[in-house]
Amino acid sequence: MKKTTVRKIPLQDFFRNPEQSAFKISPDGDFISFMAPYKNRMNLYVKQIAQNSEAKRLTSEEDRGIAGYIWINNETLLFLKDFNGDENYHLYGVTVTGEELGDFTPFEGVKVEIINRLSYIDNEILIGLNKRNPQLYDVYRLNVQTSQLDLVAENPGNISTWVADHEGKIRVALTTDGVNTSLLCRATESDPFTTVLTTSFKDKLIPKFFTANNQHLYAISDLGRDKAAVVRINPETGEELEELFSHPEVDITGLTYSKKRKQLTYAYYVTWKQQVHCFEEEDKRILQQIASLLDGEKDYFIISKNKAEDRFLVRTFSDRSSGSYYLYDVKTDSLTHLADLTPWLKEDELAEMKPVSYQSRDGLTIHAYLSLPVGVVPEKLPVVVNPHGGPWHRDTWTCNPEVQFLTNRGYAVLQMNFRGSTGYGKKFVEAAYKEWGKAMQNDITDGVEWLIAEGIADPKRIAIYGASYGGYATLAGLTFTPDLYACGIDYVGVSNLFTFLESIPPYWQPFLEMMYEMVGHPEADKAELHATSPVFHVDKIKVPLFVAQGATDPRVKKAESDQIVQALRDRGVEVSYMVKENEGHGFANQENRFEFYHAMEAFLAEHL
């Protein structure tokens, strides 16, 4: 086999923290903020645009990097941080001068979620807290100047989503009883909510923004259709007034709104990569102008803008580049390069992520991505099959550090959007109900068989690796198709569907009946759940397994990994087990990532 020599890129280069990331612009457009490493943790920095001054570090987190942040006014930023991966995020504040405003939600075991930034009301934000009941979020109005926290709406016990109008008033809510979803509306915050529409959880109606006059709602909906579209509805009746945009093959997944011009701007959807639809000619003109200034870098999106909407932050992306950040100034029609995320990675050394498709055994088209080692003839290669987590999620075209690491080490990587993956319409999602370990797993197996039939895969050198649901799929693959794989890597994966359903986080409890419909009921579907829980069938596993787990994981508890490891060791099957006490659902700390991928590299080298 002819082979082009490719440099072995240091492992740390794939998994180290980006040089700079998560850029945003202040409401007045004077400052740019971003995250960057400080003592190996991602911290918050700001930089004044006009003076082109040195960036100033605002936070000094050393135990765990911040999880995300927003601007609340021209002087203040709010950021989220949890503790050892427990996902009970607290909301902190800091000013552009570095003054610490402290923890605005200092409640133990309580998780905050941001409901509405209220960018038209300085100093105030609407947040949700599950302080009164761990299963429910009540709405509070937080004043960041006074730290005043006022209850705006108390959750009666079934509200899963709150929507504010353009005056910051909670006017719309979604309720769930686990299997049915209702749209609630009220004219003012002093009025009681009225139920206007009830649908099955299988249908999607996601309110996004009120229209400019606060009378109607823009929403993403698949009611009466298979693929979710952008629609305008009357919240008082639930009536769909018009369809504004749809795509024949995939769901619309995102929507943006101009508060300045009071109109919709962009709809986002993913075919094999992210696409955008412009609602107005002005938005189309801006995108075309940015594209021309990027000089051929066609794949990009707008990630942030100032209140005047004359300065935009732009990020480029591709399958072989983590991307770059730029500032586009409308007044001067200029594009300024700000930063590259991972400048140490060179595109010509990285693998292309090619969209492919194959047929499942029962006739579904499964869309997938195939990444091949650079400079290698695609014949009889060692392969890592990498099913995604979720499972109600999907893979898309991007520069994935895991994929690039594996291809650089000589492995082909197959990622498939098996049934249940989102974005392909509700029929495709429904085809996965109660099919964990069955038809969903068959879609993965059929992809492996396709690779073998195409001559790409060496049938004796195929591994399966995944995280979360992908970890479950790894265990299911080794259990239910024991002759297909040479080894497996399970990263925070489910091993026992009974204990998984019993131990979900409290804020998932309102959706438990839906989980029973989608995964299975522990009593009504007892036989099926037993048949598809890998922990009960470890006698079929005969190849080496590597398991990694965060000790504080609130979604897939450590017990899921403990069970499978103990059961295999009791049988004398080789299993490596890595547990990190300061991690949750995946390893966020850089040194833990390095250790995990070093172990993965050695494990695959030995067994493939």
Burial of 295 (0-12, 13-18, 19+ CB in 10 A): exposed
How big is the chain by its Cα radius of gyration, in Å? 24
Tell me which amino acid residue 286 is.
I
For residue 553, indicate whether it is catalytic.
yes
The two most distant CA atoms of the chain are separated, in Å, by: 74
Amino acid type, 17: N
Is 585 annotated as catalytic?
A: yes
Once rounded to an integer, what is the mean pLDDT over residues 79-89? Answer: 91
Separation of alpha carbons 508 and 183, rounded Å: 19
Q: What is the pLDDT of residues 497-534, one digit of tens each?
A: 999 999 877 877 778 888 999 999 999 999 999 999 99
- 258 - beta bridge partners? 263
Q: Catalytic residue among 246, 321, 322, 468, which?
A: 468
Task: Choose the catalytic residue: 277, 388, 537, 585.
Answer: 585
Q: Mean pLDDT of all residues in the chain? A: 94
Contacts 24+ apart (CB under 8 A), 117-120: 117/70, 117/72, 118/164, 118/168, 119/27, 119/259, 119/307, 120/166, 120/167, 120/168, 120/259
Question: Is residue 593 helix, strand or coil?
Answer: helix
Q: Which two tokens stand for residue 338?
A: 């700000």
Of the candidate ranges 105-114, 166-175, 296-305, the one whose mean pLDDT is the lowest: 296-305
3-state secondary structure of 560: helix
Q: At a CB cut-off of 8 Å and minimum separation 6, what does 586 contact?
A: 85, 467, 468, 491, 492, 550
Q: For the residues 28-54, what does the mean pLDDT come to?
A: 92
CA dist., res. 37 & res. 59, Å (int): 11
Give the per-residue pLDDT at 503.
83
User: Which amino acid, one-letter code, is at 226?
Assistant: D
Q: 26-35, 49-58, 99-108, 599-608 — which is least confidently predicted?
A: 49-58
* Region 121-139 average pLDDT: 91
Over residues 464-489, mean pLDDT? 97
- The predicted-structure confidence for 360-403, as pLDDT tens digits, reads as follows 999 999 999 999 999 999 999 999 999 999 999 999 999 999 99
Distances, alpha carbon 15 to alpha carbons 81, 163, 239, 342, in Å:
21, 37, 48, 10
Q: What is the mean predicted confidence (pLDDT) over 311-320?
A: 95
pLDDT at 3: 55
**CB atoms closer than 10 angstroms to residue 570:** 9
Q: Residue 392: CA atoms inside 13 Å, Cβ hemisphere, count?
A: 14
pLDDT for position 602:
98
Q: Regarding the domain delimited by 347-607, which CATH topology (the fold level of the hierarchy) does it fall under?
A: Rossmann fold (3.40.50)
Q: What is the 3-state secondary structure (H, E, C) of 121-140?
A: CCCEEEEEECCCCCCCCEEE
Query: Does 469 have pLDDT greater than 90?
Result: yes
Give residue 290's pLDDT: 94
Which residue would you say has higher pLDDT here, 358 or 177? 358
Mean pLDDT for the stretch of residues 326-355: 95
Average confidence (pLDDT) over 100-111: 94
Give the rounded percent of residues in the chain with a pLDDT score beyond 70. Answer: 98
Confidence of residue 119 (pLDDT cuts 50, 70, 90): low
Comparing C-alpha atoms, which of 587, 545, 550, 584 is closest to residue 566? 545
561 has catalytic annotation: no
CA angle 453, 4, 316 (to 5 degrees): 85
Stretch 475-494: mean pLDDT: 97
**Lowest model confidence (mean pLDDT) among 50-64, 161-175, 240-254, 537-551:** 50-64
Annotated catalytic residue within 283, 443, 490, 553: 553
For 548, phi then psi, to 5°, come to: -130, 140
Instruction: Identify which of 86-90, 191-195, 285-289, 449-453 has the greatest average pLDDT.
Output: 449-453
Q: How confident is the model at residue 1 (pLDDT cuts 50, 70, 90)?
A: very low
